[in-house]
Amino acid sequence: MLKNLCQKMFGRSLWVYHANSGGCNGCDIEVLNVLTPYYDVERFGIKLVGSPRHADVMLCQGPAMRATAQALKRAYDAMPAPKLVFAIGSCACGGGIWFDSYPVLGPVEKVVPVNFYIPGCPPRPEAIIYGVAVAVGLVDKKTAPVKFKQIELPIPRYHPNDLIGRDELVVYEKVEKV
Amino acid sequence: MKTLLSILGGLANVAIVLLVAPFFQGVLRKITALIQSRQGPPIWQPYFDLLKLLGKEDIESGESPLMQRFAVYLSLATVLTVACLVPMGFTAPMNAAGDVILLIYLLTLCGICTLLAGLAAGSTYSLLGASREMMTMIALEPLFAVAIVVGAVHTQSFRLDTVLNGSVYASAAFPWSGVIMFGVMLLSFQAFVQRVPFDISEAETEIMEGPLMEYSGPKLALFKYAQMAKLVIYSALFVTLFVPWGTGLMFPLGWLVFWAKVTGLVLLVTLVAATHARYRIDQAIRYFAALLAVALVALVLASYGY
Amino acid sequence: MSVLSKLKETLVCLKAGRVTLPYPAQAQPVPEKFRGRPLFDAAKCTGCGGCANNCPAREILLFDLCQEIRILQYLGRRCAYCGRCADVCPEKAITMSHEFETGTNSIGDIQQRVELFMSTCQRCGRCFKEPSALEQLKLKGYRVDDVAHERWVFRSKSYLDTEPVVDDIKIEMD
């Protein structure tokens, strides 16, 4: 019974550890903005802690670099279960614009398993709060893959056999909507 | 029969402290948020925090896991033992079990538990936090001891129920020593409850939470609980020593007045904590040394009967 | 550092009241030129590939199934929301919308895929594929980015293979 209660309380008080593994600090500033009075996120019970052993959630930003990949993995291993990893910003989600640069290994998911992605460059503080709310289960997510297939083709097809000459004009005999 | 009643009373004290401590911490966080112009966490937030921490995995790391476990259990146990001895609106039920010297040593033991925790972890930041805690304790515990001893000198006894009842004002002439000690304790109260501007040793972002760095899950919950309980217990001690007026009333009224005073003290702590920055360790030691000199002057005055 | 200055500070902060924006309850309006998620309008797209050529993160992939069907895939993982694709598009088929609430638990949710029918030449109207991938690349305008592995294929010196074009740097992680 106590275990159920503890698991239910998990979403009400998330302690966050902020790990920047080589980003440009743009997403850093947005994460810090989220903790300030304007977009206050402490009203959801989220607190910034200084040690990964105290934390539930690791906010990763910046791509995984050669120099910091090992440190990131160690910080992830130091967190006690149950744990979540949020990848914040385009660099952490997919490597960012620097994906083929020499020190960049790739997105953060090459080093630690990621649970939630919050893309943006940098994501607005409201986007970060929205992502956290999706993770906790307060709201539904608003994105889904989009596919468009052109079934109605707008352009008629011309075939050379259907071009007939008529009084010095070349006229298309039959219009075929494909 | 009497011992059974006193044991039950002591357990009741412990239960009160356990229930009420996170509530005061929640009030503190909410009022800090209000002063910082934002909507803070709900008042019940520390209860959620403690429950969540109890549900996490327990990773034992650091130099000696055995000492880590020992430090945690000792910390909460010491604080709850002090809770048995402190009067909370009515005289402490177990005050025949010890005297004032026991109280002073138990309070020092609370500080030593942080040292044990820091040394057990063994990492650089923990050792740094432990050394700062040592320096703070050396300068700080004598202040409280002098306050209690002034009371003991005035009432000529070491019994808990006589000393912890506003005894610092009990001298024959105008109680100069009592007033001086009131001022000194008020100025240094933040350090006892480990709040800004004096929370140098632990729970700060400068040294990554200091001695508590390697704790996770249930042990961290116990440590945080001990810190919250220390706030309540030190406030209760301060109120019974220095602001005793009104506790002699009938049962419900005296009890309510006591808790109102404790809440007022917690509000004062919050106000000071929300508007100040943290002191460096050398600035803090100089501050406490000056206060200690004043406290010793008060002790000399007390021995002369003032 | 006197007590009075601290009290004055407290009063100033209390007078400001509560400045927290009630974000999940009420949404704040975004600035007008805000660049959120790009939305691809397939009705206007002609499949020119300008957006793909100009994306600095190489997030837009083009794949020609045959001479007449071109698949354009926007994977949103690395998109930096710079807006170059919207600037370059000649038909103004890409708009940088004001949507920013894109947190999700699977990164494939952000992709948009458009399959277009490209009109053929009036004279030759070719509709068969060249035999080998190299011949396909030699045809002008043909694009065969590797959609399965989600990688751009650089035209000049690369060939379609299972090996990645740019080597991943191996590093020991223990």
Report whether pLDDT(C157) > 50: no
**Per-residue confidence band for B200, with pLDDT thresholds at 50, 70 and 90:** confident
CA distance from start to end of chain A: 66
Calpha distance B214→A52 (Å, rounded) = 9
Please state the rounded mean pLDDT for residues B186-212: 77
Task: Give the pLDDT of residue B152.
Answer: 84
Is residue A141 included in any domain, yes or no? no
What amino acid occupies position A34? V
Is residue A177 included in any domain, yes or no? no
Q: Chain C residue closest to B268 (CA)?
A: C7
Task: Give the pLDDT of residue B144.
Answer: 87
Q: What token pair was written down for B22? A: 């996170």
CATH of the domain at A71: 3.40.50.12280
Please state the rounded mean pLDDT for residues B216-221: 86
Domain total of chain B: 1
Measured between CB atoms, does C13 come within 8 Å of chain B? yes
CB B210 within 8 A of CB B131: no
Domain total of chain C: 1
Is residue C134 included in any domain, yes or no? yes
Question: What is the per-residue pLDDT across C29-75, written as a single tens digit (0 to 9) for each?
Answer: 888 888 888 888 888 888 888 888 888 888 888 888 776 788 888 88
How many CB pairs lie under 8 A apart between chains A and C? 157
- pTM for this prediction: 0.80
* Nearest CB neighbour to B39, from listed C10, C16, C20: C20
Please name the residues in contact with B235: beta carbons below 8 A apart, sequence gap of 6 or more. B24, B193, B262, B265, B266, B269
Task: Give the pLDDT of residue B293.
Answer: 93
Report whether pLDDT(B168) > 70: yes
* Nearest CB neighbour to B57, from listed A48, A49, A80: A80
Is residue C84 included in any domain, yes or no? yes
CATH of the domain at C78: 3.30.70.3270
Is residue A23 included in any domain, yes or no? yes
Residues of B in contact with A15 (CB under 8 A): 49
Q: What token pair was written down for B187? A: 């100025």
**Per-residue confidence band for C156, with pLDDT thresholds at 50, 70 and 90:** very low
CA distances from A21 to A27, A28, A158, C125 (A): 12, 11, 57, 53
Residues of A numbered 88-117 whose beta carbons fall under 8 angstroms of chain C's beta carbons: which are they?
Answer: 90, 93-97, 99-100, 102, 105-107, 111, 115-117
Task: Give the pLDDT of residue B23.
Answer: 92
Domain total of chain A: 1
**Is residue A15 within a helix (H) or strand (E), and if so which, with residue range?**
strand A15-20
Distance of CA A33 to the CA centre of its chain: 19
Q: Which residues of chain A have pLDDT under 70?
A: 151-164, 166, 170-178
Report whether pLDDT(B69) > 90: no
CB C37 within 8 A of CB C110: yes
CA distances from B158 to A123, B149, B257 (A): 63, 9, 26
Residues of B numbered 180-219 whose beta carbons fall under 8 angstroms of chain A's beta carbons: which are they?
Answer: 204-205, 208-209, 212-217
Report whether pLDDT(C174) > 50: no
Is residue C1 included in any domain, yes or no? no
CA atoms within 13 A on the CB side of C21: 15
Question: What is the per-residue pLDDT across B241-289, written as a single tens digit (0 to 9) for each?
Answer: 888 776 666 677 778 888 888 999 999 888 888 888 888 888 888 989 9
Q: How many CB atoms lie under 10 A from the CB of residue B202?
A: 22
Please name the residues in contact with B142: beta carbons below 8 A apart, sequence gap of 6 or more. B292, B295
Dihedral pair phi/psi, residue A96, rounded to 5°: 70, -165
Calpha distance C108→C77 (Å, rounded) = 8
Question: What is the per-residue pLDDT across B228-238, written as a single tens digit (0 to 9) for each?
Answer: 898 898 898 88
What domain range is A26 assigned to?
2-136
What domain range is C63 assigned to?
28-138
Inter-axis angle of helices B218-242 and B176-192, nearest 10: 170
Q: Quote ipTM for the complex.
A: 0.78
* SS3 labels along chain C: CCHHHHHHHHHHHHHHCCCCCCCCCCCCCCCCCCCCCEEECCCCCCCCCHHHHHCCCCCEEEEECCCCEEEEEECCCCCCCCCHHHHHCCCCCEEECCCCCCCECCHHHHCEEEEEECCCCCCCCCCCCCCCHHHHHHCCCCCECECCCCECCCCCCCCCCCCCCCCCCCCCCC
Please state the rounded mean pLDDT for residues B164-190: 80
Calpha distance B159→B138 (Å, rounded) = 25
Is residue A20 included in any domain, yes or no? yes
Report whether pLDDT(C110) > 90: no
What amino acid occupies position A147? K
Residues of B in contact with A81 (CB under 8 A): 56-57
Task: Give the pLDDT of residue B292.
Answer: 92
Task: Give the pLDDT of residue B256.
Answer: 84
